Amino acid sequence: AMTRLSRARWLEVRDEAALSRAWAEHHAILAAARLGDADEAARLLSGHIVGSRDRLVTSLANDRRGLRARGFAVVAA
């Protein structure tokens, strides 16, 4: 499972814009939690997870051939 998570994280932050977006989302989630705003933190976390999943699925669909060339097996769930 950890190898799969590492691969997913690598796919998610392959460029500077994606890395910046991820950091901004993480900081917003933590800021809401630190302020004690559990509802906002939960909303931001849910949006982050859904967005990450959607971007990962799109990335896999768009780059299936390139990933296979790099040794990744892309299988349907």
| pLDDT tens, residue by residue, 9-27 | 666 667 788 888 989 999 9
**Is residue 74 a part of any domain in this protein?**
no
pLDDT band (50, 70, 90) for residue 2: very low
pLDDT at 12: 67
C-beta of residue 74 within 8 angstroms of C-beta of residue 68: yes
d(CA 53, CA 47): 10
**Is residue 33 a part of any domain in this protein?**
yes
**Is residue 76 a part of any domain in this protein?**
no
Q: How many residues does the chain have?
A: 77
Prediction pTM value:
0.69
**Is residue 75 a part of any domain in this protein?**
no
**Is residue 47 a part of any domain in this protein?**
yes
- Expressed as residue numbers, the domain containing 29 is 2-69
Count of domains for the chain? 1
